[in-house]
Chains A and B, each alone.
Chain A
Amino acid sequence: MSETQSPLLTVAGLKTYFPVRGTPLGAAPRFVRAVDGVDFAIGKGKTLGLVGESGSGKTTAGRTVLRLIAATAGTVTFDNQDVFSLDNKAMRSLRRRMQIIFQDPMSSLNPRMSVANIVAEPLVVHSGLSRRQRKLRVGELLERVGLSAQYMSRYPHEFSGGQKQRIGIARALASKPDFIVCDEPVSALDVSIQAQILNLLSDLQADMGLSYLFIAHNLAVVEHFSDEVAVMYLGRIVEKAARDSLYALPTHPYTQALLSAIPVPDPAAASSRVRLPGETPSPVNPPPGCPFHPRCAYTRSVAATLDKKETVSIVAGGEPARIVARCTREIPRLAPLPDDPSHYHACLLKQG
């Protein structure tokens, strides 16, 4: 790890709130706190895996970084430029360097445009290439992502999901970006295709020195792919560490639960799955204190060993539970592990 080189992308204190439409009588304005104070950095040629359940805000975070959704607070610095303060013209030229790949290959391609026009769109905006040169470049790009250049004149409905995803990747590559947000690029594909697309993405990274923000809900997918992994819960990062450290020593109870949910391809393996009671709480009305406390198994087990004064009883997922009182009062902050300063987590009880 080179500490001297400044990262390509730095995100600090990022918040994205969506207003909830109030009643006509003018109730207090409320917000969906989709992203609620997120910090991370991605070095050149590196991959940060961003993991979480649906509703954790990971997709919103990715789109806010690209300024596709307006941020409520925080800064994004890309190659020493403050992304949120750029004017339209500067932003447009920065967009050449930041691209996105979507989850749903179906809706990410315009059904009325030919593949040639889809892939050429970034070239139309950002390059001074002539029509002929664009066509040549589209052919190269299609070959690069493993499709035949002959497919150029076809339309999206003529392709399978995996092929559509390759077209989406070719479009993202067209403007020669430095950074790509991969928004669950394999979640909609079946498993055999997932591996092909992941291999393609890592080949491209090696060839072109790309940096990825790789969003996924599946820790197993991220493991093969990331240099660093951040786990999100209800708009916040609850644990962030180098890949090996996170998978070897998951510290936050939520990360532990997610990891235990990865299926092991061995029927004899003892299953020690951590069950999470209930569902992700509403980001409009997050639980006080640690947002994970209603579902946390760890606080329950700690509470059993503590004096009654230090615990409170709650009802979570329809079941009563006793948990540590502190978890409902204090909002946890990310702090490093004592023996690994690059491994951050946000568990009050484990921070001591």
Chain B
Amino acid sequence: MKKSHETNATPVSRGLWADAALRLLRDKAAMACFAVIIIYAAIAIGSPMVFGDWSAAHDYNHRNESPSWQYPLGTDALGRSVLVKVFLGAHVSMTVGFMSNVIALPLGILLGALGGFFGRRIDDFVVWLYTTLASIPGIILLIALKFAFADKVLFPGSFFELDLSGMAGVYVALGLTSWVGTCRLVRAETMKLKELDFVLAARATGRGNLAIMFHHIVPNLMHIAIINFSLGFVGAIGAEVILSFLNLGVQNLPSWGKMINEARMDLIVGRWWELTAAAGATFIIVLAWNIFGDRLRDALDPKLRNV
């Protein structure tokens, strides 16, 4: 049989996830953004291995040079290549973006699903927790946490040793403060889902709460989780830039926020390249994640199916 466009007679069926993947593959803008994200991820993983020890890379013969063939993005006040700094900054940003989501998403989904499903006291507690958290301005809470984390090492000596004074502190603080949005969405969606007839049908057939959660609620929440991952990534990159700008971010590693901080006085004297490079690197990844997240939501939303 010829593979023309789909008809109702196609005997092979695709699952919802495969269907969403196919929609994304056909979407040029989404694929372009996905490519950008993959390139950034590759740079983030590769650059620390390629450029190795950064602290000794001073070169006082090439300070504050404008872009040239040798230094495509110029050099900074210590004669270091801005391009290498941007690459190493990607490592920090992508790690923070990923790790803070790894903490925030499960927290938001767990609390939101529990509160939405069981209601009453559990829900009261969840709502109290996130409204309290949301009532404190995010960036101030983040700064306070980061101060509290100074010199803190979790589980010292064990495999899970976590030095909260450095980058780990940034993503733990971000993870602990950025789950509220996911939690709200998940809670509302759970409250909607648990009233739907298919949940009632599962109850009518004798399924318990756990089975209903696992088989009927959580699979229907996954699209929210995935979309929030892409949105949370953007937020985390932005927050890392701000923290680093305030000297509360990572130490001993270049980051886009630190570059912007160091370069802010340079603009007056006409040295535009460091600020532009860091801001541009941030801009492109944020744009790519935003567009990709948007297309992802369209692809995963069951309501937009079959249109």
Contacts and interface: CB of A to CB of B under 8 A. Distances in A.
A212 B207 CA distance: 22
B269 interface: no
Contact of A96 (B11, B206, B207): B206
Contacts of A110: 198, 215-216, 219-220
B210 interface: no
Contact of B16 (A91, A121, A150, A155): A155
Contact of B206 (A95, A108, A150, A157): A95
Nearest to B201: A108
A99 B204 contact: yes
Task: Assign chain A's interface to a size class.
Answer: 35 or more
B207 A121 contact: yes
A104 B302 contact: no
A68 B219 CA distance: 23
B197 interface: yes
Given A95-B206, A121-B207, A157-B306, A111 B201 contact: no
Contacts of A102: 197, 200-201
Contacts of B302: 111, 157
A102, A121, A157, A171 interface centre (most CB from chain B within 10 Å): A121
Interface string B200-239: 1111111100000001100110100000000000000000
A187 B159 CA distance: 61
Contacts of B52: none
Contacts, number: 78
Interface in A50-106: 63, 66, 68, 91-93, 95-96, 98-100, 102-104
A104 B15 contact: no
A150 B10 CA distance: 11
A185 B202 CA distance: 17
A159 B196 CA distance: 19
B202 A121 contact: yes
Interface string A110-136: 111110001001100110000000000
Nearest to B205: A122
A158 interface: yes
Interface string B174-207: 0000000000000000000000111011111111
A107 B207 CA distance: 18
Given A112-B219, A154-B13, A157-B302, A107 B196 contact: yes
Contacts of B11: 150
A109 B206 CA distance: 16
Given A107-B197, A150-B11, A112 B204 contact: no
A299 interface: no
Contact of B205 (A114, A153, A154, A175): A175
A111 B220 CA distance: 8
Contacts of A63: 200
Contact of A104 (B197, B205, B305): B197
A98 to B, nearest CB: 7
Contact of B207 (A66, A114, A125, A153): A125
A111 B202 contact: no
Nearest to A114: B15
B206 A126 contact: yes
Nearest to B8: A158
Interface in A242-277: none
Nearest to B195: A107
A241 B218 CA distance: 46
Contacts of A96: 205-206
Interface in B258-307: 302, 305-306
A282 B196 CA distance: 24
B227 to A, nearest CB: 16
Contact of A95 (B197, B205, B216, B220): B205
Given A107-B197, A111-B220, A157-B306, A68 B13 contact: no
A154 B8 CA distance: 11
Interface in A138-179: 150, 153-155, 157-158, 168, 171, 175
Contacts of A168: 201
Contact of B197 (A108, A121, A126): A108
Contacts of A154: 13
B163 to A, nearest CB: 40
Given A109-B198, A110-B216, A98 B204 contact: yes
A68 B302 CA distance: 27
Contact of A111 (B16, B200, B206): B16
B21 to A, nearest CB: 14
A54 to B, nearest CB: 16
Contacts of A111: 16, 220, 302
A159 to B, nearest CB: 9
Contacts of B305: 157
18 contacts: A63-B200, A68-B203, A95-B204, A96-B206, A99-B205, A100-B204, A108-B196, A109-B198, A110-B198, A111-B302, A112-B16, A121-B201, A121-B207, A125-B207, A157-B16, A157-B302, A168-B201, A175-B205
Interface of B: 8, 11, 13, 15-16, 196-198, 200-207, 215-216, 219-220, 222, 302, 305-306
Query: Which 4 interchain pairs have the tightest Cβ spacing?
Result: A108-B197, A95-B206, A154-B13, A92-B206
